Amino acid sequence: METNLTAVEKVIFLQDVDIFEYTSTENLGRIAQVVKEVDFTEGTEIFREGDISDAMYLVISGRVRNHRGGQEIMIADAKKTFGTWALFDDEPRMVTATCLEKTRTLKIDRDDFFDLLATAAPRLDGPTGWRRLAGGECISAGAR
């Protein structure tokens, strides 16, 4: 049985995931507080095409096949993400995600992500703006 990652190990892992490439260590620490470790066995369908989009996943180890019908869309392996749009869009899942082997993931629930944004965003860069948790551009308070 594998042990759970510590908060520091989660931050170190998140630093190497492309979607969080430009995210500060402080914000990665906030994200690490809301991610959940989830293990899956080979053959498990994590979600199916048409399911409600409610979380994104980051692969710690293992491989996940994302497919629609018989067509493979992508294979997500270590430090890759899948289901990412679930954080930003209410549309049903467009693919099925199936584990090709025993797989360990970090799961970010949409509700937890938005709660994090709601509580952290006002503090991120002071009163005149805030920096997106997923890195990069600064959005000023008056921007639309």
**What SS3 class is residue 33?**
helix
Where is average pLDDT lowest: 28-37, 98-107, 121-130?
121-130
Domains of the chain: residue spans and CATH: 7-140 (2.60.120.10)
Q: What pLDDT, in 10s, does the model give residues 81-113?
A: 999 888 888 889 999 999 999 999 999 999 998
Residue 96, phi-psi category: left (phi > 0), alpha (psi -120 to 50), beta (remainder):
beta
Is 138 a residue whose pLDDT tops 70? no
| Residue 130 or residue 89, greater confidence | 89
Nearest to 31 by CA among 114, 127, 143: 114
| Residue 120 or residue 49, greater confidence | 49
Q: How far is CA 123 from CA 106, 119, 131, in A?
A: 25, 8, 9
Average pLDDT of the chain to the nearest whole number:
83
Contact between 66 and 112 (Cβ < 8 Å): no
Residue 144 binned pLDDT confidence (cut-offs 50, 70, 90):
very low
| Whole-structure pTM value | 0.80
